Amino acid sequence: MQIDQRNNPKLMWIIAAGLVVVILLIAVFFWLNSPSNKTATNDQLNTPITTKKTEVVTPPVAQAIEQTAASESNHIELVNETILKDKVPENASLAKEEVAKLDDIQTQLGEQQQSLKSQHADADQLIKLKEEQIKILEQQLAAQTQ
């Protein structure tokens, strides 16, 4: 190659454009092949992933009534009662599989309980903050009317 060909700015722009096109093609390929959050499923439970929902603050009496009504009408069975009543297989490997399955269920329930406790604590804290905010707004309103 001659010196004129090696230092040609047109050749440098063509090489740079080619590299940009290759990088864009790779990025588009990975973007199209990545799983979408909307269609992602939970492998353990084979149910769609849900996002955390915000709760509407209602008076404590109404909350208690709603919770008791909801718990009575929407009794969801987390674990089949038949699992507890089934006989343990005599084969050692099958028994180990059953024990492992029950341990997995127990850990999932424990994680779910921790999650619910943290959500409950967050909701309580949010309620306290909202009550304080209401008191401050009432004080400001009272100050403005005077």
How do the domains of the chain map onto residue ranges? Answer: 80-146
pLDDT (tens digit, 9 = 90+) per residue, 8-40? 888 888 999 999 999 999 999 888 887 764 444
pLDDT (tens digit, 9 = 90+) per residue, 78-122? 667 776 677 766 787 888 888 888 899 999 999 999 999 999 999
Higher pLDDT, 53 or 97: 97
Residue 47 confidence (pLDDT) above 80: no
Q: Rounded to the nearest 10 degrees, how much is the dihedral formed by the CA atoms of 98, 100, 106, 109?
A: -100
Mean pLDDT of 48-65: 50
Residue 131 confidence (pLDDT) above 60: yes
Mean pLDDT of 125-137: 95
pLDDT of 38 reads: 44
Q: pLDDT grade, residue 71 (50/70/90)?
A: low
CB-based contacts of 95, cutoff 8 Å, min separation 6? 88, 89
Q: Buried (b) or exposed (e) across 47-65, using 16+ Cβ within 10 A?
A: eeeeeeeeeeeeeeeeeee
